[in-house]
Structure 1
């Protein structure tokens, strides 16, 4: 072998080694990104998606509030982003979500009203719920129930993100009567469209049926009990609302346990207690489809 061939072989071997080292370096960098940075990026991405869903539920709540106040019979669509896509070029997982309706007949959550003779009314609560199926971030649930928007996490934490339309007021009879005013939404499904799943955006269409709305008045009430799976969120929210009206000496709100289920109990203290419940009937449709418009009230 002459010297030129020897040097040529050495250069070829060196080139192969350099290429292998370069490949190893690139693989190390990609592995570091995949194992360290990508999970952080995906966690942040899923957290931002949860913030987006929260904002969308806030918008849904405001739409329903406006529809119920104006008794607007036309359908309005609100977008809900169910999940998020994976990152391109890296090994990542999609986030999924489920948006569904829980009818009042299948719900274990309710509001009961009682006087000295016993229970005089029971409202089973229907709700709209979003459930996330995240791969990196903590799973969260957003629930629209009895006019409030609740956040519940898989770690057990829960909070009332938007307070329900509950108002305490005194009457003119020297403040001897406290009125509790509450607007409750009763959701019914139109067209069997009650659930949407996946990672893309879906829609929920809401439509008020003013001819089915109902206003009910209950006097001489001794207590109002709220039986709900989200009792901590309801307890903090109702106590906060009571404090805003400065009725601490007239109304007590406590957690009680009855038959292995926690209840929120609202009771008067040395005053007459009147409860005014407005039940607003709302047809909903989740997913693709069209809700037929009802005639205007009075037609």
Structure 2
């Protein structure tokens, strides 16, 4: 009788842990991971911006990006994420800028971008995208620019100067999930 009672107590404790505490723990872990990836995307942007400020137009950078969060393998699975370069818009990843001034039209095209998509089990799924110096956060059906691109407008008397840094990311179209 006491063995059955001990087994019943263990089963009840495991049920309470897996039903109430584990989802809270996992949501906290996935939230912390989302903050970590957001910070890592900021470091990627910072690395690119520093190279541009140094005058480099062709460069390689290497920054870490944590794809998934670690859970409790005994009770559930880990969350995963997917990182993509140049492949998340079906060959339509391009920005076209057409500006006209007194001397004629200026046409500029830049392409490329990076994107991280979460595959969370307990926290809200989202994506982070890096395009033309901006970091964009998307959740559900909404988007917000977390870090703006380099864009300036300055008025000097009757003349207005506009500056917009266009960034092309080149490389293989690829994605990695982990």
**TM-score, normalised on structure 2?**
0.86
Residue 84 (structure 1) aligns with? 69
Total equivalences in the alignment: 174
Residues 29 and 71, structure 2, Cα contact 8 Å, conserved in 1: no
Q: Deviations for 1:209-262, whole angstroms, at most 9, x for unmatched residues?
A: xxxxxxxxxxxxxxxxxxxxxxxxxxxxxxxxxxxxxxxxxxxxxxxxxxxxxx
Query: What is the deviation of 1:119?
Result: 7.4
Q: Are residue 133 (structure 1) and residue 119 (structure 2) matched? A: yes
Deviation at 1:86, TM superposition (A): 2.6
Give the alignment's TM-score, normalised by structure 1: 0.53
- Quote the offset at 1:109 in angstroms: 4.9
Work out whether 1:159 is the aligned partner of 2:141.
no
SS at match of 2:166: strand
- Match of 2:77, SS? coil
- Partners of 1:125 and 1:138 lie apart in 2 by 29
- Aligned ranges for residues 266-281 of structure 1 at < 5 Å? none
Aligned counterpart for 2:167 among listed residues 164, 181, 185: 185
Structure 1 segments unaligned to the other structure (5+ residues): 1-16, 199-299
Gaps of 5+ in 2: none
**Are residues 88 and 95 of structure 1, via their aligned partners in 2, closer, same or farther at CA, if it must alter by over 3 Å?**
closer
Is 2:127–2:137's contact at 8 Å kept on the other side of the alignment?
A: yes
Q: Deviations over 1:118-171 (max 9, x none)?
A: 975252542111111111111111110111111111x22321111111111112
Moved over 4 A (4+): none
| TM alignment of 1:1-299, pairs within 5 A | 17-72=1-56, 75-90=60-75, 92-102=76-86, 106-115=91-100, 121=107, 123-153=109-139, 155-171=140-156, 174=157, 176-189=158-171, 192=172, 194-198=174-178
Higher strand share: 1
SS at match of 1:178: strand
Whether the aligned pair in 2 keeps the contact of 1:111 and 1:123 (CA below 8 Å) is: yes
